[in-house]
């Protein structure tokens, strides 16, 4: 393991509110009663079973088995829940447990909307729109309430999305009139081929990424692209409080570096157009044949990075990137002192929510 603090002691590294504590107990009970089933599988990239254990608990203090493949460097949960168990987990506990809220609201939707602005701008700068927005069909996998798609629709694109969380889909459909449906890519019918497929913080959740990529390859238009965004392990200096343990939880089956993501995608019919360690990446379909022979093993670089991170995190009272957020925190603190923070927050999200409709 990476250290003693990764042992399974049941202690969370994040503060949990009353709803999250209740959800944690419910999940633990389902683990204990084998309602949630687990399975061991070979590495999703290289099919190896040569693993090294990194952690025995997740950020909420739930038992988990996080390993790294010695043959390619892919970090993964193994054993992990079965697909049936994950489906129930996403529908009954996931959103409440991870957001700490009973139901979707305008604040959640606008956070997605803001991500949509960033993704659209990123794709536009990279010049990947093969058609004008008014002629482009954008399909999102794991759309949540649909906030990302709302911005693409605002720019003129035709949009459609799928997810497994019924309550969040209902919020986007009923409040914003978005074309959203319950399901996976395998059971979704489309009346035209997407020009852009968005997978924003989704691929790390997928149990069978090769099968998912095969479906994507099948439905994506010949000149289309897939945008894949996942949390980057080698970006931890700038996220998750510089703490790998804060990155770990049951919903994330895989933890990628750009190298391991590229290994996965390029051995399944795609070629990278752009990628960074944040990770934001763009891939297009290709006829080139990639094999396991060209896999780049990221095991050693990943372990060097994680061990260095463990040494550095204790040297800083707070992560250096937090300095950029100080002005916002000061303003919030002042509003709280004067007792107007909650009112200001409600007004802010109401105005932003209405702005999403325009």
pLDDT at 356: 60
- CA angle 79/93/84 to nearest 5° reads 45
**β-pair partners for 330:** none
302-319 residue pLDDT tens: 999 999 999 887 776 666
What would the pLDDT profile of 224-238 be if each residue is shown by its tens digit? 999 999 999 999 988
Report whether 203 contacts 229 (CB < 8 A). no
Long-range contacts of 165-169 (CB under 8 A, 24+ apart): 165/90, 165/91, 165/94, 165/95, 166/91, 167/95, 167/103, 167/104, 168/95, 168/104, 168/108, 168/144, 169/143, 169/144, 169/145
Per-residue pLDDT reduced to its tens digit, 93-149: 887 888 777 677 888 899 999 999 999 999 999 999 888 989 999 999 999 999 999
Per-residue DSSP letters for 79-116?
A: SEE-HHHHHHHIIIIIHHHHH--SS--HHHHHHHHHHH
DSSP assignment of 153-166, as one string?
A: HHTT-EEEEEES-H
Residue 19 has pLDDT above 60, yes or no: yes
Distance separating alpha carbons of residues 336 and 126, to the nearest angstrom: 41
Looking at residue 180, the DSSP 8-state letter turns out to be E
3-state class (DSSP) for residue 176: helix
φ and ψ at residue 236, rounded to 5 degrees = -65, -15
Band the pLDDT of 289: cuts 50, 70, 90: low
High-pLDDT (> 70) share of the chain, %? 88
| 284 SS3 class | strand
Backbone dihedral region for residue 332 (phi beyond 0: left; psi -120 to 50: alpha; all else: beta): alpha
Question: Radius of gyration over alpha carbons of the chain, in Å?
Answer: 21
pLDDT at site 166: 85
Average pLDDT along the chain = 89
Q: How confident is the model at residue 331 (pLDDT cuts 50, 70, 90)?
A: confident
Let me know if 82 is exposed, middle or buried by CB neighbors in 10 A (0-12, 13-18, 19+).
middle
Domains and CATH numbers, the chain: 103-357 (3.40.50.150)
- In a 3-state reduction of DSSP, which class is residue 335? helix
User: Using 50, 70 and 90 to split pLDDT, how confident is the model at 184?
Assistant: confident
User: Which residue has better confidence, 293 or 219?
Assistant: 219
Question: What's the confidence (pLDDT) of residue 321?
Answer: 58
pLDDT at position 353 over 70: no
What does pTM read for this prediction?
0.87
pLDDT for residue 150: 97
Task: Examine the pLDDT at 180 and tell me if it is beyond 70.
Answer: yes
- Rounded Cα distance between 345 and 153, Å, is 26
Question: DSSP labels for 35-83?
Answer: SS-EE----TTT----EEEEEEE-TTS-EEEEEEETTT--EEESSEE-H
Model confidence at 241: pLDDT above 60: yes
Cα angle for residues 197, 173, 92 (degrees, 5° grid):
85
């Amino acid at each position: 393991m990476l250290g003693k603090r990764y042992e399974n002691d049941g202690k969370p590294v994040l503060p949990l509110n009353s709803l999250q504590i209740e959800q944690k107990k419910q999940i633990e009970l389902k683990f204990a009663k084998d309602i949630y089933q687990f399975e061991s599988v070979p590495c999703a990239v290289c099919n190896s079973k040569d693993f090294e254990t990194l952690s025995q608990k997740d950020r909420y203090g739930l038992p988990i088995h996080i390993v790294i493949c010695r043959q390619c460097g892919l970090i993964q949960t193994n054993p992990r829940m079965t697909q049936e168990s994950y489906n129930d987990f996403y529908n009954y506990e996931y959103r409440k447990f991870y957001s700490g809220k009973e139901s979707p609201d305008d604040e959640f939707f606008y956070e997605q909307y803001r991500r949509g602005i960033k993704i659209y701008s990123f794709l536009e700068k990279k010049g990947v729109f093969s058609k004008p927005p008014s002629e482009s069909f954008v399909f999102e996998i794991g759309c949540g309430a649909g906030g990302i798609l709302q911005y693409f629709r605002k720019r003129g694109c035709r949009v459609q999305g799928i997810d497994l969380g019924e309550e969040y889909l209902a919020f986007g459909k009923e409040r914003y009139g978005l074309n959203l449906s319950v399901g996976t890519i395998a059971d979704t019918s489309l009346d035209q081929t997407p020009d852009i497929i968005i997978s924003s913080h989704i691929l790390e959740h997928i149990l069978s990424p090769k099968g998912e990529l095969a479906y994507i390859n099948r439905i994506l238009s010949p000149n289309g692209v897939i945008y894949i965004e996942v949390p980057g392990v080698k970006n931890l200096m700038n996220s998750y409080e510089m703490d790998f343990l804060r990155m770990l939880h049951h919903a994330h089956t895989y933890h990628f570096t750009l190298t391991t993501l590229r290994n996965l995608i390029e051995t399944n019919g795609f070629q990278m157009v752009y990628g960074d360690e944040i990770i934001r990446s763009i891939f297009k379909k290709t006829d080139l044949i990639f094999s396991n022979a060209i896999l780049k093993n990221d095991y050693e670089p990943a372990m060097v990075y994680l061990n260095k991170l463990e040494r550095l995190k204790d040297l800083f009272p707070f992560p250096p990137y937090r300095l950029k957020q100080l002005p916002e925190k000061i303003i919030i603190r002042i509003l709280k002192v004067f007792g107007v923070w909650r009112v200001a927050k409600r007004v802010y999200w109401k105005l932003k929510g209405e702005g999403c409709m325009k």
